[in-house]
Amino acid sequence: MLRDKLKHHHIILASGSPRRQQFFKDLDIDFEIRLKEIEEIYPPHLEASAITDFLAELKANAFEGTLHLNDILITSDTIVWHQGRALGKPKDFQDAFQMLESLSGCTHDVITSVCFKTIDSTIVINELTKVTFNYLSSEAINYYIKNFNPYDKAGAYGIQEWIGSIGVAKIEGSYANVMGLPVDKVFEYLSNFST
């Protein structure tokens, strides 16, 4: 369906995330993966979705001057927003443990922004999902980090993994968004792009 609508466009996914890459495969569209290393630094006054909006656009701007007429570049960024601060990817075991300990028994926001860039325009959309965790014992947190190495995940967890099965009490909003991409919104945007 989407493949036909986008047949005159070249989709570039600028993400090394295997989860995001799988989502694009599931959308059944042709796409190229193109990566650029950037420092993900944002102004300290930014909060919540303003952070992910900024970083998604920052990642897209790294490709300025390299896009062709029919290219649609897609970048994204996800954070866990909890108690007034952003939880990104943990630096080490201790950092991951502290993140999960802080999420235990609480509700937090998972925010993903997606930037669509062409040579003519830059559009950023975002999605917020509320996730409530059960109480997590130190033993459960240790087990999860040791066995699943969640160092490439915002907030130190992947909802699709063991911790999601035993730890998540409630979710309000998009499940896919918690995995790193609001697929329904991406589908909607791309569906309307060529019309």
- Which residues are marked as active site? 77
Distances (CA, A) of 100 to 86, 103, 134, 157, 159: 13, 5, 11, 8, 12
Residues facing residue 76 across a β-bridge: 114
The bridge status of strand 10-13 relative to strand 31-33 is parallel
Handedness of CA 93, 128, 182, 76 (dihedral sign): negative
Q: Which has the closest alpha carbon to 74: 86, 84, 63, 85?
A: 63
